[in-house]
Amino acid sequence: MHLYVMTRGIKHAQDLFITQLQGQYLPAKWIDKDGKVQKTMMQFAVRPIQLFEMVYPKEYHNEVCTTFFGPDKTMNMHKKHNLPIAMIRKGLGVNKVDYTPSATKLPASREHIEIVGIGQKDDDPLTFKGEIVKDEDGNEVEGI
């Protein structure tokens, strides 16, 4: 059985609640390869579904996306999720994730994690059009 809930409250109280749930084992039955019903104990599984905004320099976009989605550009495992993901993308005002697979990745483990690509957007301009600013070499340049 799968139950989807939202929680709201003090962070450490939520963490304690989740930790205590993860320590629960419940009697369960399963059918083995011979078709016989077996009794076992099943650990209570708590699997968060979270939305993150990742912020990084634009020049590392391909490496970051390759780290998250791999060279084959797998945005999500289930095609039935495409419509809800598109709705979230629209609500956030972002574009579909697009990148060129990179030969290098960030040193981060993805073991036991599904990462779903929702969308991307360019950085907000830090300067106003026509404003004079200095670049990293101290040269004056016009803002975007």
Domain ranges of the chain: 1-49, 53-144
Q: pLDDT by residue (tens digit) across 53-81?
A: 999 988 999 999 999 998 988 877 788 88
Cα four-point dihedral sign 3, 53, 117, 101: negative
Q: Are 129 and 143 in contact (CB under 8 A)?
A: yes
- Is 70 exceeded by the pLDDT of residue 129? no
Q: Are 19 and 31 in contact (CB under 8 A)?
A: no
- Predicted TM-score (pTM) of this structure: 0.68
Q: pLDDT by residue (tens digit) across 6-36?
A: 788 899 999 999 999 999 999 999 899 999 9
d(CA 32, CA 26): 18
* Alpha-helix residue ranges (DSSP H) falling in the chain: 11-22, 61-69, 82-92
The letter for the amino acid at 101 is P
Q: Would you call 12 helix, strand, or coil by DSSP?
A: helix
Q: How confident is the model at residue 6, as a pLDDT?
A: 78
